[in-house]
Amino acid sequence: MVSESGSLEEFVDRVRGKHYEDLVFLVDQEATDAERRMYSHRRDNSGDPERFRRYADQIKDFLLYLRHGVKTAEIRNVDLQGFRNVDSRPN
């Protein structure tokens, strides 16, 4: 996972400046990794699966924003300046 702490802000800071295709790939991978952690923590009773569930939801909302410009309540307060202006974004 890019953000080991499960922080959307940390993830956004680390992927800022990536090309659109790379960014979408990384966001998708991050959501998958967060969901895997959520289920593995549930199975072995370690950690906080709710934290990873919320993080996975935030990452999926970030992907929705990248693809369609929809900014949900979950990500409304995150600084996403510059992500909608990616040159290679599809029309």
Q: Are 27 and 58 in contact (CB under 8 A)?
A: no
Helix (H, G, I), strand (E, B) or coil at 46: coil
Mean pLDDT of the 3-16 span: 89
Length of the chain counted residue by residue: 91
Q: What is the pLDDT of residue 90?
A: 47
Q: What is the pLDDT of residue 29?
A: 95
Structure token pair of residue 83: 């992500």
Q: Are 38 and 49 in contact (CB under 8 A)?
A: yes
Q: Are 78 and 12 in contact (CB under 8 A)?
A: yes
| Extents of the domains making up the chain | 8-80
First to last CA, the chain: 29
Q: Read off the pLDDT of residues 46-61 as tens digits, 9 standing for 90 and up.
A: 567 788 889 999 999 9
pLDDT at 26 over 50: yes
- Look over the chain and give the mean of its residue pLDDT values, rounded to a whole number: 83
